[in-house]
Structures are given as C-alpha cells and as structure tokens.
Amino acid sequence: EMVFGGMDKLKDKIQETKKEKPKAIIVVSSCPSGIIGDDIDQIQDLEGDIPVITLKADGNLTGDYLQGMLMAFTGLAKQIIRKDVKPVKNLVNIVFEKVVAKNTNSNYEIVKNYLSAFDVKINCRFLCETDYDSLANFKAASLNLLAYRDYTSNILQDFFEKNYDVEFFENPFPVGFLQTAEWLEGIGEYFDKPSVAKEIIENNTIAYEDRVKAVKAQLKGKKLMVITYNHDIDWILKSAIDVGIKITKLCILNFSQDEGFRTKLGRTFNFEENYDKDKRIQDIELYKPDILLTNYESSIGTEGLMTFTMPMCPDVGFFSGITECEKWARLKETNLLGEWKNDEELFRKYNS
C-alpha cells in the first residue's frame, strides 16, 4: 500500500489494515516524508495487539541504497526477533541472500538439498521469502549460514553476534568444486555426520571428472584472460586448469565489497590488482587469449575472441566452474556464420 498525504492518512490506513488481522504491519518511509518532517515513529502508539514496525528509509536523511538495506535488516531484526527463543540442534538460518540476483532461488534449493542430507532444516531466510514467525524465531537456529561473504554480510554477522549471541558458520555458500567439498566437510563436522559429507563429495567427484573429460579435448591448450570485480575466483580457475586451459592473466578490478584476490589452488598466477580497465586492449594484444572472461563486455579489441560474462553472483555447488567451461566448449564447436549473413544472396535472387 502507498500512502500520500501525511500522518493522518497513514494512521487511517493502519486502522484499516488492522481489520485484516496481519501478524504485523511494517511502515517504510521515503524521501518526501523526510523532507516535510513526518515522523513515522508516532504511529507505534497505534500498536495494540498488532505490532507496528517502522523503517525510516528517507534517502535524503538516512543514506544511500546500501545503508538503506542495512537499516532495513537491522531495524526489522531489532523490532521482531525474540531473544528468549532457545536454539534447536538441526535448524539453521540463511543470512543475506541477494534478492536481486537471478539465481537466488536456485542456489537456495541446492543448499537446501545439501542440508537435507544431514537432516538439517532451514528456519529463517534473512531476509528473503520469509515470514513474521520465522523472523521472530530467528534464534531457534543453532547455526547461521551466510549466502555471501562481503562487506555487507560482515556487518550483519557482527550485528547478530553482538546483539543476539548467535553462531555463524565460517564459510559462505560454496561456489565451485573445492569450496563445496570444504563446505560440506564443515557442515558434516558441525552436525556430527562426516560420513554423509564424504558420500556426497565422492558421488559428485565422479560426475565432475566425467564432465571434465567430456570437454577437455576442445579446450586443452586454449588461453584464458580474466577481467573481473570478483576477487575470489578459484571456482572458475580450478575448472579451467582441469580442462587444460592456460591462464594468461588475471585482471582484478577494485571493488569495495571484496577483500582482494586470494587463492587456495597452490600455484602462482600472473595477476594484477586494482587493474586499470583502460589497459584492456593492450593486454589482449599482448597475451592473445582465446577466451576472455569479464564482468563487462566491449566490442573494442575483441575481434576473433570468445568473450563470456563473469557472473557477479555465481551459481553454488560442485559444478559452477565446469558449467562455464562447457559453455566455452559449445561455442567453440558452433558455426559462427549466422544464416542472416546470407541475406545478400536472397536479396539478389528476389530483387534482380
């Protein structure tokens, strides 16, 4: 519901909404209300038996988009989460899924399936497709899983640990073969089911190796160059190495949400942090890659070069990297001469 016209209309709308008997009413302010001086905290006097929760999102007063997200997260938590709830062993929360990412739900389903193998259920998705009761019972989970590890998620973890005395799993949702194996081993250890983790890893190792063999002939010896805002890219590097690709250069762009390039692959890469994107053309000419993987595309300097988009929010699971390699192999085998290029012949035939 949108309310225009000041506090009186807002109060009337709240009384009207109460007749529908919701679990709670959440009121979010916007810039105009901040400009004219409306204070939505006044309406908390109307609570009665239905909680009225206020979130001040006046962009002109409370900050930018990121600050608004953090304010919404912490504001809802402070006003809804019950501190008297006791944790249950086989319940977890998921914290900070990115609702704007197109693979949020598919990633959730993959993680949910992994957890179900350990007889672990999801209590609350903070905040994604959740409900009032799940949020109120946030502390029922014995463990909290970060969907991403970045600047914003670190702030949220610190907030929950200090204010609600809850435990967080060290690793975020796993991307790629190595991270997924490590993540499952950690989950298995936490819930005292290491054999379950071992079985999942063994089964997926076989499937992964089969997929590597299927594309190695097409990709072995090809040269890859990466230009990316993502700083943790082992998920794609491992698969590229496994299929025999030579990595010529990793160009790591500055990104405030990440912590710098790091790798657990045990090898030395030619990489450059705080990369100047204006060097792109000269580096392509210097290293002559067959494949360019980048967060942003440009037609300049990429003639005869296979260019692919590096996802800012990759798919989770064992096969994130090999799935990308399979795309490269498919395109390599594709006839790049589109049928539309024969239109000149048709034009002459029917217009001569």
At 294-328, the pLDDT tens digits run 998 776 767 778 999 999 999 999 999 999 999 99
DSSP code of residue 168: B
DSSP of 132-150: HHHHHTGGGEEEEEES--S
DSSP of 261-291: ----SSS---EEES--GGGHHHHHHHH--SE
Q: How far is CA 105 from CA 125, 239, 335, in A?
A: 11, 24, 34
Q: Which amino acid is at 333?
A: E
pTM as predicted? 0.90
CB-based burial label for 251 (10 Å; 0-12, 13-18, 19+)? buried
Spell out a b/e string for 217-227, using b for 16 or more CB atoms within 10 Å of the CB, else e. ebbeebebbbb
Give the per-residue pLDDT at 297.
74
Q: pLDDT digit string (tens) for 134-155?
A: 999 999 999 999 999 999 999 9
Assess contact for 181 and 289: CB atoms under 8 A: no
Structure tokens at 92: 């977890």
For residues 64 and 255, the model is more confident at 255
Q: Which amino acid is at 148?
A: Y
Give the per-residue pLDDT at 350.
67
Q: pLDDT digit string (tens) for 43-91?
A: 877 778 899 999 987 766 667 788 888 988 999 999 999 999 999 999 9
- In the chain the domains, ranked by start, together with CATH numbers, are 7-62 (no CATH), 88-173 (3.40.50.1980), 210-332 (3.40.50.1980)
CB atoms within 10 A of CB 171: 16
